[in-house]
Amino acid sequence: MYNLEEDVKLRRKTWIKIANIPTARVGWTLEDCTDISDDDMELVNNWLKLFKRGEVIRATNSKFCGKGLMLWGKPGQGKTTLALSLMQDVLRTFSLEEFDVKEGGALIRPAYFITYNDLLSLYGRVIHDEGSDDDVVIYQGLLGECPNDAYNIRLLIIDDIGKEHTTQTGWQKNVLHQVLRTRFNNGLPTIVTTNIEKKNWAGLYGDATESFANEAFGYLPINSLKGDLRK
């Protein structure tokens, strides 16, 4: 664990505070995820090495350009905690160059956490002109299409995809595909947590989204060493 107020420099502290991290998970690091198997942690660390080498974010001519992680598992297996711990390690330790920021540039919101349902709500407000100016900037940043590149979110977590899949409408499924595809095309990685196995995405989100998921994500089935951590 780290102490946000004592262990983190001012700029990075600001990045963490505006990343929308749930309060209960602020301060977590990958070293705290002791219930995750060594195999899963090795895959996460291999992805982080690619990130640090500049092979993920806007990495021209890299087969890993824009590639994120899909953390799949039943509820209570530690998927969200793992994703948030990874994000915080990135925010605390990665350099501006690793975020693809040009020399002298200011990175305003390098990473962001949002649940799938909150993403749909944000989209609805923006599309119907009911959102604030910050809503518009955040949504543009999620896509990687904000005119001010400092607000384009380099690392995005979308949490709980599929939790409410029984009520999904066509437009909601389209929003998911649009966000994931646009980010990938812009060379920006996304981490998703889901209780829907990748092989079942076609039936819920369409063949195109399932096929795209195979291209855009490294797939990690997460099984806690202690079972359901919420019990």
Q: What CATH number is attached to the domain comprising 212?
A: 3.40.50.300
Provide the number of structural domains found in the chain: 1
Phi, psi of 44 (to 5 degrees): -60, -45
- pLDDT tens for the 231 residues of the chain, in order: 999 999 999 999 999 999 999 999 999 999 999 998 898 999 999 999 999 999 999 999 899 999 999 999 988 888 999 999 999 999 999 988 899 987 666 788 999 999 999 999 999 999 988 989 999 999 999 999 999 999 999 999 999 987 655 555 667 778 888 999 999 999 999 999 998 888 888 777 777 777 888 889 998 888 776 666 665
Instruction: Examine residue 182 and state whether it is found in any structural domain, yes or no.
Output: yes
Per-residue 3-state assignment (H helix, E strand, C coil) for 51-106: HHCCCCCCCCCCCCCCCEEEEECCCCCCHHHHHHHHHHHHHHHCCCHHHCCCCCCC
User: Is residue 226 domain-resident?
Assistant: no
Q: Sign of dihedral through CA atoms 221, 176, 134, 152?
A: positive
User: Is residue 20 in a domain?
Assistant: no
Q: Is residue 17 part of a domain?
A: no
* pLDDT for 231: 56
Amino acid identity of residue 29, one-letter, is T
Confidence at residue 214, expressed as pLDDT on a 0 to 100 scale: 85
- 34 located within any domain: yes
Find out whether 146 and 108 touch, Cβ atoms under 8 Å. Answer: no
Q: What is the domain extent for residue 73?
A: 25-221
Give residue 223's pLDDT. 78
| Residue 161 forms part of a structural domain | yes
Dist. CA 108–CA 127, nearest whole Å: 24
State the first-to-last Cα distance of the chain, in angstroms, to the nearest integer.
22
- Has this prediction a pTM greater than 0.85? yes
Residue 164, pLDDT score: 53
Provide the strand spans (E) within the chain. Answer: 68-72, 111-115, 155-161, 190-194, 217-221
Q: Dihedral of CA 161/110/28/21: which sign?
A: negative
163-171: Cβ within 8 A, 24+ apart: 163/116, 163/117, 163/195, 164/116, 164/117, 165/196, 165/204, 168/204, 168/205
Residue 4 lies in a domain: no
Phi, psi (rounded to 5 degrees) for 59: -90, 90
d(CA 9, CA 19): 16
By three-state DSSP, how is residue 226 classified? coil
Q: What is the pLDDT of residue 168?
A: 59
Instruction: Determine the pLDDT at residue 104.
Output: 63
Q: Please indicate, yes or no, if residue 117 is contained in any of the structural domains.
A: yes
Query: Please, are residues 126 and 135 in contact by the beta-carbon 8 Å criterion?
Result: yes
